[in-house]
Amino acid sequence: MEGVGGSLGVRKGAWSKVEDDLLTACVLKYGEGKWHLVPSRAGLNRCRKSCRLRWLNYLKPSIKRGEFSEDEVDMMKRLHRLLGNRWSLIAGRLPGRTANDVKNFWNTNVRKSKVSSRKEEIQYAEPKETVKPHSVIKPQTRTLSKPSPCSLRKWFPSKDQDGTTQCHITQPCAASTECNDNHNNNAKDKWLGTAIGDNGSNLENDKYFSGNQDWTLMKDFNLDEELPTDFLIEDQSWSDFFLDINLWDL
């Protein structure tokens, strides 16, 4: 792996202490971001991607080293069941852990243990009752074509007069024409990140899905009676949907 790689003469492979020091000094001075400027600023013969990765996965001061605690592993399993291989989202809920750490840990420890210990997998990955195989939640359920106008946290679907599903906050959403099921993955991620308390939000916050005062206590709301069912995927109720993303119930 070591050596000068590529036709452009950009260095690849393991990082030296000197390179680490240069990169650290650069990021501390200029801050994270603008990675395309980092190699020249730091005086490194590395590509921007390599610089970014080295910082985020190894040099960043907040990174926690050492073994994963039982709690972390437990949380990881729950989140993985919820999110699938969304390592960055999972890592976001594990302070100090990077997506790469989580991914590596999962691929080595958890996967391995699943092979040798089918029992534990059943405990985490399958419902006790043999209903349907539990599918990993992919936020195709209700996503937004653009995250901003619907505001994601404030957004909520309802049926309009002509029968089309629209987004409403306290006022009809400005982007209502885009609020059908045709939404992109980034919005899904942001929405889901919001739903699980990304951005440092509190999972226990009962008002999490609010934005409209009527929805302040979502857990107490009778979802199935009040919400439009045409927004749900087949054979799913709103209760099912919100149940799925209630981490505290996992």
Partner DNA sequence: AACATCGTCAACCGCGAAGAA
Partner DNA sequence: GTTCTTCGCGGTTGACGATGT
Q: Which of 78, 103, 114, 159 binds DNA (CB under 7 A)?
A: 103
The 3-state DSSP class for residue 10 equals strand
Stretch that binds DNA, among 85-93, 120-128, 159-167, 201-209 (CB under 7 A): 85-93
Q: Which of 21, 25, 34, 205 binds DNA (CB under 7 A)?
A: 34
Residue 48: other Cβ atoms inside 10 A: 16
- Smallest gap from Cβ 27 to DNA, in A, equals 12
Q: Which of 7, 8, 14, 162 binds DNA (CB under 7 A)?
A: 14
Q: Which of 15, 156, 191, 238 binds DNA (CB under 7 A)?
A: 15
Stretch that binds DNA, among 28-36, 69-77, 200-208, 216-224 (CB under 7 A): 28-36
- Smallest gap from Cβ 59 to DNA, in A, equals 8
Given phi > 0 = left and psi -120 to 50 = alpha, else beta, which region is 135?
beta
Helix residue spans in 31-154 (DSSP H): 38-42, 48-54, 70-83, 87-92, 99-105, 111-116, 118-125, 147-150
**Quick one: 64 or 134, whose CB is closer to DNA?**
64
Q: Is residue 187 within 8 Å of 78, Cβ to Cβ?
A: no
**Quick one: 4 or 203, whose CB is closer to DNA?**
4
- Smallest gap from Cβ 84 to DNA, in A, equals 8
Site residues for DNA, 166-195, by CB under 7 A, read 184-187
Query: What letter represents residue 58's amino acid?
Result: Y
Residue 1 binds to DNA (criterion: CB under 7 A): yes
- Number of residues this chain uses to bind DNA (CB under 7 A): 41
Site residues for DNA, 146-165, by CB under 7 A, read 147
The percent of the chain in helix, strand and coil, each rounded to the nearest 5, is 50, 5, 45
Q: Which two tokens stand for residue 84?
A: 């699938």
Q: What are phi and psi of 174, to 5 degrees?
A: -65, -30
CA distance 25 to 19: 10
Residue with tokens 């957004």: 155
DSSP 218: G
Site residues for DNA, 38-57, by CB under 7 A, read 48-50, 52-54, 57
In terms of Cβ atoms closer than 10 Å to its own Cβ (0-12, 13-18, 19+), residue 225 is: exposed
Q: Is residue 46 within 8 Å of 39, Cβ to Cβ?
A: yes
Stretch that binds DNA, among 29-37, 71-79, 150-158, 200-208 (CB under 7 A): 29-37
**Quick one: 68 or 238, whose CB is closer to DNA?**
68
Q: Return residues touching DNA (CB under 7 A).
A: 1-2, 5-6, 11-15, 33-36, 48-50, 52-54, 57-58, 85-89, 99-101, 103-105, 107-109, 112, 147, 184-187
